[in-house]
Structure 1
Amino acid sequence: MKPDIEELPKRYTDNPPEGLTSKDIRNMSEDELPDMDYFLNEDDLFADEAGVKGFCIF
């Protein structure tokens, strides 16, 4: 496990996101935790232009 990934279970077990319990977090795999963290912290993930920077149509 990477050092930043090692702290995710503790962070989310102490304060689980809405709809999840501490038990859910404890049962997540090493792959699921970073994915959940990414989606919880991504700004406006489902916006039409998410991830598009500097693209113009003339």
Structure 2
Amino acid sequence: MFFYTYMNPNTEKLRKKYMDNPPEGMTSEDIRRMSEDNLLDMDYFLNEDDLFDDEAGVEGFYIS
């Protein structure tokens, strides 16, 4: 029995990006073996402006 796993082409582009230039502390092999969900999570956290800033993403919105 064969199982076919659908890989999103955009996710595979992201995987190639990180395999070519892995984040500090990781190797290309680590990236290759990551699940799609873990890869997307990593990308989200690496590209988040400031995870601990309470005002992140609410520019221009003020309660007076």
Give the TM-score, by structure 2 length: 0.72
| Aligned match of 1:13 | 19
Q: Matched residue pairs, number?
A: 58
Equivalences for residues 18-29 of structure 1 within 5 A = 18-29=24-35
> Which runs of no fewer than 5 residues in structure 2 stay unpaired?
1-6
Larger mean Cα displacement after TM superposition, 19-28 or 1-10: 1-10
Whose RCO is larger (CA < 8 A, sep 6+)? 1
Question: Among residues 47, 54, 62, which one is paired with 1:41 in the alignment?
Answer: 47
Q: What code does the residue aligned with 1:8 have?
A: L
- TM-superposed deviation, 1:27: 1.0
How large is the RMSD of aligned CA atoms in angstroms?
1.5
Percentage identity across aligned positions? 72
Aligned partner of residue 39 in structure 2, secondary structure = helix
Name which one, 1 or 2, has greater alpha-carbon Rg.
2
